[in-house]
Amino acid sequence: MFHLKDRSFTSRGGFTLLEMLVALAILGFSLCLLLDFIANSLRLAGKAELASRKLLLAQSKADEALLGLLEDTSTTKGKERVWQGLVARDIAWEIKEYESSKDKTDTRESTSSPTLFYDVSVGGIEVSSARLQKKVLKTPPRE
């Protein structure tokens, strides 16, 4: 016959309920930390991608301005021309072109020909500035 007194609960191998709850709490806390780390990594990767998109766009628009390939949709504000536009409905760009006979950083007067300046801003942040010495191209005489 089977008696309850013969069964010993202390001699069994295995985990108690309290040990299981503590192990699950530690595992849950660790998973929360890991998921937070992954979420932050994805957020930072998105910011880095947006910054590189802005930089590539600024370089492209600066090249177009320097080569004179921008569409003639500029507005004139005093002595500067301004081009503006949107890319993918979320990134605004603006290029300002102005002439100066002296360098912005140079306080001496210059006697050379005027310099064209191009300031490129993307997303409200100035990411590129270029200057180009204005040259007059002479065409050779035709024979």
Question: What is the arithmetic mean of pLDDT over 6-14?
Answer: 62
Among the ranges given (2-6, 66-70, 98-102, 133-137), the one the predictor scored with the smallest mean pLDDT: 133-137
pLDDT at 105: 54
Residue 122, classified by CB atoms within 10 Å of its CB into exposed (0-12), middle (13-18) or buried (19+), is buried
* Boundaries of every domain in the chain: 18-133
Grade residue 2 by pLDDT with cuts at 50, 70 and 90.
Answer: low
Task: Tell me the pLDDT tens digit for each residue of 56-96.
Answer: 888 888 788 777 787 777 788 777 888 888 877 678 888 88
| Residue of higher predicted confidence among 114 and 1 | 114
Separation CA 55–CA 130 (nearest Å): 14
pLDDT at 14: 84
Greatest pairwise CA separation for the chain in angstroms? 127
Question: What is the arithmetic mean of pLDDT over 17-37?
Answer: 96
Q: How far is CA 77 from CA 12, 63, 121, in A?
A: 88, 22, 17
> pTM to 2 decimals?
0.56
| Structural contact between residues 71 and 126, judged by C-beta atoms closer than 8 angstroms | no
